[in-house]
């Protein structure tokens, strides 16, 4: 598994997590999301570029910075940035809003968090790994996360002080009982369904 493959898998898992049934479909406090993304406004060359980033990120057209607000954010010190952002939010009076695309914002920090783990690629002797509707925990507080990514291959993510993020990972054979243990973890996390190569054994 190359580093680029790890990034793709991390983003896919993060996308799954952002659409978990207990998280997806609830109204979002748009002010909270907007406050987070406004922290980066000063890194854009102008307010037009920042507003384009808002559209790409899924914010509705009513959410935007005008020229005066952009200049005000750029003019304040780091210590006063939160106060300047709060002023923008209070002036607009944002309410709870259901916006599907905003959930995609959760993909990026979740994927980045997954990539902080040390990854092991595990090969089963046959097509044995299963998958579920909740491949990773909704909150990444576990020190070890295991799951199948195909019927033949699984991954174990270990939280360590220094993660191996740079080079290709070569699969190792599954140890005795390891596939069973990983599948049991997948079943415990599942909310409504699991799937796998042998439906009669699920």
Across the chain, which has 202 residues, the per-10-residue mean pLDDT values are 89 80 57 80 91 79 86 91 87 59 62 86 95 85 88 91 68 95 94 86 70
Q: Torsions phi, psi of 106, nearest 5? A: -70, -15
Tell me the chain's radius of gyration from C-alpha atoms: 21
1 within 8 A of 121, measured Cβ to Cβ? yes
User: What is the number of domains present in the chain?
Assistant: 2
Report pLDDT for 112.
80
Nearest to 74 by CA among 44, 54, 103, 109: 44
**Within a domain: 104:** no
Domain that holds residue 183: 8-21+116-201
Residue 14 and residue 70 share a domain: no
Please indicate, yes or no, whether residues 42 and 65 belong to a single structural domain of this protein.
yes
- Within a domain: 188: yes
**What pLDDT does residue 36 have?**
80
70 and 47 in contact (C-beta within 8 Å)? Answer: yes
- Asked whether residue 103 is assigned to any structural domain, the reply reads no
Predicted TM-score of the model (pTM) = 0.60
């Amino acid at each position: 598994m190359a580093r680029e493959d790890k990034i793709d898998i991390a983003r896919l898992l993060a996308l799954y997590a952002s659409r978990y049934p207990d998280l997806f479909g609830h109204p979002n406090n748009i002010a909270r999301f907007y406050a987070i993304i406004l922290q980066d406004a000063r890194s854009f060359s102008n307010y037009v570029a920042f507003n384009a980033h808002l559209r790409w990120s899924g914010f509705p057209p009513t959410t935007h910075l005008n020229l005066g607000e952009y200049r005000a954010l750029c003019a304040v010190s780091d210590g006063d940035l939160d106060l300047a952002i709060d002023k923008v939010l209070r002036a607009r009076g944002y309410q709870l809003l259901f916006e599907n695309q905003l959930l995609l914002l959760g993909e990026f920090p979740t994927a980045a968090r997954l990539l902080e783990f040390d990854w092991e690629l595990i090969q089963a002797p046959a097509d044995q790994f299963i998958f579920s509707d909740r491949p990773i925990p909704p909150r990444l507080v576990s020190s070890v996360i295991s799951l199948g990514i195909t019927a033949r291959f699984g991954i174990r993510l270990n939280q360590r002080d220094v993660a191996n993020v740079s080079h290709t990972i070569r699969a190792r054979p599954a140890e005795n009982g390891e596939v069973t243990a990983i599948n049991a973890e997948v079943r415990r996390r599942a909310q409504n369904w699991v799937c796998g190569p042998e439906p009669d054994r699920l």
